[in-house]
Amino acid sequence: MRSVGTLTRADLAETINRKMGLSRAESLEIVESILAKMCGALSDGENVKISGFGSFVLRDKKERVGRNPKTGIEVPITPRRVLTFRASQLLKDRIAKE
């Protein structure tokens, strides 16, 4: 069922299909709907928290000076918004056990 090392949308839909008894199309629609809701919230500047799993947090980075490692020339790095993930303690504990 699973791709090696990667959990895909199809894998999530397959699990919903098996556990809930929904059709494959309905299962995939549920997965797509959840991901669309998360993307919409992040696009609107909201953070997304999934209890027991973790939080997707938007951070605004200020402009800063970087250095080209090859030439050593300093270049400005433009300000931007980045997405970070912070795992919940529950997830961290579970990963540490496995």
Q: Minimal CA–CA distance to 58: which of 81, 39, 41, 80? A: 81
Length of the chain: 98
Contact 67, 73 (CB under 8 A): yes
Q: Where in the chain is the domain with CATH 4.10.520.10?
A: 47-98
State pTM to two decimals: 0.76
Tens-level pLDDT at each residue, the chain (98 residues): 444 689 999 999 999 999 999 999 999 999 999 999 999 999 999 999 999 999 999 999 999 999 999 999 999 999 999 999 999 999 999 988 86
Residue 4 has a pLDDT of: 65
Residue 64 has a pLDDT of: 95
Residue 97 has a pLDDT of: 80
Please state which CATH class domain 47-98 belongs to: few secondary structures
